[in-house]
Amino acid sequence: MSIAKALTIAGSDSGGGAGIQADIKTFQELNTFGMSVITALTAQNTLGVHGVFPQTLEAIEAQMEAVLSDMGTDAVKTGMLFSADIISLVARKLKEYEVKNIVVDPVMIAKGGAALLQEEAIRALTEELLPIATVITPNLPEAAKILGREEMKTIEEMKQAAVDLHKLGPAYVVIKGGHLTEGPAIDLLYDGESIYELETRRVETKHTHGTGCTFAAAIAAELAKGSPIKESVETAKAFITAAISSSLVIGKGIGPTNHAAYRAARLQKQ
Ligand SMILES: Nc1ncnc2c1ncn2[C@@H]1O[C@H](COP(=O)(O)OP(=O)(O)OP(=O)(O)O)[C@@H](O)[C@H]1O
Ligand SMILES: Cc1ncc(COP(=O)(O)O)c(N)n1
């Protein structure tokens, strides 16, 4: 039996809600074979990040070599990359292996405020990784940081940001509106010509740890299976909405989303 393969290159979240763990759970739920390259360990739980331990470049390169030289992949999702050196290495290896379907989630800061990307790495992100990305998935603060402007507060400002981010080289741009303070949860997809709005109701919950990681991993899984970009983003939006709608009260802080919810709902419908 053959199966589509998806690779996450990201940080490990010991709490299981974000990072590598969220990605692998998402890949599994969407019927893809998940593989991982761990860029950094975080000691993390629902209350926050208690330690960040970047892996050596040697360790990261060895993981990429091991996976890509033998198994290959149908899509890649990058998450926490932490430093300029790690970004350069990852971009170089993705080019070397001519990896297709690259989803770049430009993770910068954890919900609790901990830095998951060094300030000086933004240039490497912009110059080396964004140009080879199939799709980038910044949230509002990340989009603002990359563009060096104030955080956008309206859909019109988000649209302008999507157009400006596209000029940096990715084939598609998704800007996530989870951080808008009121109204529905609206994300935008820009393909260089048209802007599509993806809108769902905003779920009233504080348990949203790992939403960005899960959403980007779901896009990668769908692209890996050969779905076109628009359908992939729509499925990812349905996946994350289901996961947030039945998010889990685990730990004393911001709990994780429920990765099993999307498939469970679909099975129930059958
Ligand atoms: N309360 C909510 N209800 C419904 N959808 C939401 C909610 N919060 C976020 N989303 C959706 O979840 C996805 C992730 O968006 P968000 O802006 O939270 O990403 P993020 O900030 O990168 O996440 P993270 O903080 O985990 O890195 C988007 O599709 C967004 O619309
Ligand atoms: C390893 C890792 N990667 C990404 C995030 C972002 O997720 P969130 O903003 O929900 O904390 C995280 N907390 N940890």
Q: What is the pLDDT of residue 20?
A: 98
Q: Residue 21 has which token pair?
A: 């763990």
Q: Residue 42 has which token pair?
A: 């975080």
Residue ranges of the chain with per-residue pLDDT less than 50: none
Q: Residue 142 C-alpha to ligand 2 middle, in angstroms? A: 13
Give the count of beta carbons closer than 10 Å to the beta carbon of residue 270.
Answer: 4
Strand segments, DSSP code E, in the chain are 5-13, 33-45, 48-54, 75-78, 102-104, 135-136, 172-175, 185-190, 195-200
pLDDT, tens digit (0-9, with 9 covering 90-100), for 98-136 = 999 999 999 999 988 899 999 999 999 999 999 999 999
CB distance 126 to 133 below 8 Å: no
Looking from the CA of residue 205, the nearest atom of ligand 1 is 1
17 an active-site residue?
no
Q: Ligand 2 atom 11: the closest Cα is on which residue?
A: 110
Helix (H, G, I), strand (E, B) or coil at 224: helix
Q: Which are the contacts of 52, defined by CB distance < 8 A and separation ≥ 6? A: 11, 40, 41, 42, 43, 82, 114, 115, 116
Q: What is the pLDDT of residue 180?
A: 86
Encoded amino acid at 37, one letter: V
154 an active-site residue?
no
109 φ, ψ (degrees, to nearest 5): -135, 135
- Segments making up each domain of the chain, as ranges: 5-269
212 an active-site residue?
yes
Decide: pTM greater than 0.95.
yes
Helix (H, G, I), strand (E, B) or coil at 65: helix
CB distance 251 to 111 below 8 Å: no
- The candidate with the shortest Cα–Cα distance to 96, out of 125, 122, 61, is 61
Q: What is the pLDDT of residue 13?
A: 98
Q: What is the pLDDT of residue 246?
A: 93
**CATH class name, domain 5-269:** alpha beta
Q: What is the pLDDT of residue 141?
A: 95
CB distance 3 to 18 below 8 Å: no
Q: Which are the contacts of 84, defined by CB distance < 8 A and separation ≥ 6? A: 118, 120, 121, 123, 124
Ligand nearest to the CA of 240: 1
Looking from the CA of residue 11, the nearest atom of ligand 2 is 1
d(CA 36, CA 21): 9
Q: What is the pLDDT of residue 111?
A: 85
